[in-house]
Amino acid sequence: MNKDVYVLGIETSCDETAAAIIKNGNEIIANVVASQIKSHRRFGGVVPEIASRHHVEQITLVLEETLEQADLSFKDIDAIAVTEGPGLVGALLIGVNAAKAIAFAHGIPIIGVHHIAGHIYANRLVKEMHFPLLSLVVSGGHTELVLMKGHGEFEVIGETRDDAAGEAYDKVARTLALPYPGGPHIDRLAHDGSPNIELPRAWLETGSYDFSFSGLKSAVINTLHNAKQRGEDILPEDLAASFQQSVIDVLVGKTMRAAEEYKVKQVLLAGGVAANKGLRNRLNESFQQLPDIDLVIPPLSLCTDNAAMIAAAGTVMYEQGKRGNMKMNGNPGLEL
């Protein structure tokens, strides 16, 4: 019988200090996330220096809690998977150095994981992956359609040319004076509004799987300003609903077209914006028209940043024999 594989994941790329332990690549044994959102909220966004300080304060506590939850010690861990990039360099460094210290002290192999690979592999904690598959990655920093023909093989077939979807959500939310991060607030408002305000949809050139959200973001801001100048009232709920519909139309439209063109077996949703109820509902509805494609949507807790997803991606790399070394550094520009 094969021995069980336990991988410790560490994620500190942005504003969550997180650690988790995954058994055999798909079973969560412990999952701890310390969010810093409260500290950044009064600045309306993530302040890198504050993020790094919080990570330093939290990382040891989060690791201790993770081992306690799992009822394991470092000697039980087969590999340490850590987010190597992309992200804030000062934030990444805290996780990478913690991983290196543990690896050195206990003689455990270390593996550097791409943050987006982690988001995609969050789905493996829900269901086994079947290739070829397509992943719609929508986070605060990325909007991408990623085609995978096997484990660890990532082909970006479309990406945003300007703002990421989450970034557009956060900027529109700020215009509506909603707290950071704005995505969940727009989602909630949209639910109570009606999409009766005309806004653009950036389909781009025929056949393109790229995205663009900055025009939409500007249209929302202009709509608000023009209404204010004319002394007209716009219901924030309606603006949120119209914005959300425009985002979802394009995300879901392109995902369906790519899924058919590349004849994929599965479509996976990934990233913080995957927590969006409107997007989840529309994907579920739309993929009923493509019953041969298995749509996988992770639970909310695995959509936003966490370390379980990093350990899940790290387990696959571990099994493929990939190893990092003590020269590893935070790499904000790491390629998928």
The yes or no reply on residue 84 touching ligand KG4 (CB under 6 A) is no
Is residue 255 part of the contact set for ligand KG4 (CB under 6 A)? no
Contact with ligand KG4 (CB under 6 A) among 58, 123, 223, 304: 304
**Residues in contact with ligand KG4, shown as a per-residue x/- string from 129 to 148 under the rule CB under 6 A:** ----------xxx-------
Considering only residues 187 to 246 of the shown chain, the ones binding ligand KG4 according to CB under 6 A are 187
Q: Specify the residue for token string 């798909």.
A: 26
Question: Is 115 annotated as a binding-site member?
Answer: yes
55 labelled binding-site residue: no
Q: Is residue 182 near ligand KG4 by the rule CB under 6 A? A: yes
Question: What's the per-residue H, E or C state across the chain?
Answer: CCCCCEEEEEECCCCEEEEEEEECCCEEEEEEEEECHHHHHCCCCCCHHHHHHHHHHHHHHHHHHHHHHHCCCHHHCCEEEEEEECCCHHHHHHHHHHHHHHHHHHCCCEEEEEHHHHHHHHHHHCCCCCCCEEEEEECCCCEEEEEECCCCCCEEEEEECCCCHHHHHHHHHHHCCCCCCCHHHHHHHHHHCCCCCCCCCCCCCCCCCCECCHHHHHHHHHHHHHHHHCCCCCCHHHHHHHHHHHHHHHHHHHHHHHHHHCCCCEEEEECHHHHCHHHHHHHHHHHHHCCCCEEECCCHHHHCCCCHHHHHHHHHHHHCCCCCCCCCCCCCCCCC
Q: Which C-beta is closer to ligand KG4: that of 66 or that of 304?
A: 304
Burial of 332 (0-12, 13-18, 19+ CB in 10 A): middle
Mark residues 6-35: x for contact with ligand KG4 by CB under 6 A, - for none.
--------x---------------------
Q: Is 286 annotated for ligand binding?
A: no
Q: Is residue 11 a contact point for Zn ion (CB under 5 A)?
A: no
Which of 139, 212, 276, 315 is the binder for Zn ion (CB under 5 A)? 139
Stretch that binds ligand KG4, among 17-25, 50-58, 271-279, 285-293 (CB under 6 A): 271-279
CB of 242 to Zn ion, least distance (A): 26
Under rule CB under 6 A, residue 298 binds ligand KG4: no
Q: Specify the pairing of strand 79-85 against strand 27-35.
A: unpaired
Instruction: Work out what residue 314 binds among ligand KG4, Zn ion, none; the CB cut-off runs from 5 to 8 Å by kind.
Output: none
Q: How far is the C-alpha of 16 from the C-alpha of 50, rounded, in Å?
A: 12
Give whichever of 140 and 158 is closer to ligand KG4, judged by the CB atom: 140
**CB 328, min distance to Zn ion, A:** 20
Q: Is 183 annotated as a binding residue?
A: yes
Please report whether residue 118 would count as binding ligand KG4 according to CB under 6 A: no
Told to check if 112 binds ligand KG4 by CB under 6 A, we report: no
Site track 298-327 with Zn ion (rule: CB under 5 A), x = hit: -------x----------------------
* Least separation in angstroms between CB 286 and ligand KG4: 18
Can you say which residues are annotated as belonging to the binding site for substrate?
Answer: 137-141, 170, 183, 187, 276
Q: Which residues bind ligand KG4 (CB under 6 A)?
A: 14, 139-141, 166, 169-170, 181-184, 187, 271-273, 275-276, 304-305
Residue numbers belonging to the annotated binding site:
115, 119, 137-141, 170, 183, 187, 276, 305
User: Using CB under 5 A as the criterion, which residues of the chain lie in contact with Zn ion when the complex forms?
Assistant: 139, 305
